[in-house]
Amino acid sequence: MDPQDYQLTMEVKANHLVVRASGLRSQDTVKAIVMEVFNTALANHLQKVLIDVRELNGIFGIMEIYHLVTDVLRDLRDKGVKQVAVIDIRRSATPGWFLETVAQNRGFNFRVFAEDDMALKWLGV
């Protein structure tokens, strides 16, 4: 993976971390983003994360989503981050957000939103 495959901007707020991601949406870059965001939240003692991934480009299919939740997020459960709101563009013709469904079925407090306001409201910030 090329270091230029993705870019992150992070802003530490009083009670949550705000992240904006851009670049390539791939299994490798998403895993790298997750780890960088998780480590930053832990270093700043923040349990809530808002991450905007609308500027990531590329396909992230059903198998990639399943791998992310079952192989990557699984190891991060109960280690400090309690609530994650993702802002994304609906990229699937199917109703609902597959990522949200898989994550919640695995016990994560994880929601996907199309709008900032709803995400912030759900986070309670």
Each residue of 53-111: pLDDT tens digit? 999 998 777 788 777 778 777 766 767 888 999 998 865 545 556 778 888 888 888 88
Say what the pLDDT of residue 3 is.
Answer: 59
**Spatial distance between the Cα atoms of 48 and 16, rounded to a whole number of angstroms:** 5
In a domain, 122, yes or no: no
107-125: buried (b, 16+ CB within 10 Å) or exposed (e) per residue? ebebbbbeeeeebbeebee
pLDDT band at 45 (very low <50, low <70, confident <90, very high): very high
User: Is 108 in contact with 68 (CB distance < 8 Å)?
Assistant: no
Is the residue at 68 inside a domain?
yes
Domain range spanning residue 70? 3-116
Which residue(s) pair with 17 in the sheet? 12, 49
Kindly state the average pLDDT of the residues 28-55: 93
109 is a domain residue: yes
Q: What's the predicted TM-score (pTM) here?
A: 0.84
Tell me, what CATH number does 47's domain have? 3.30.750.24
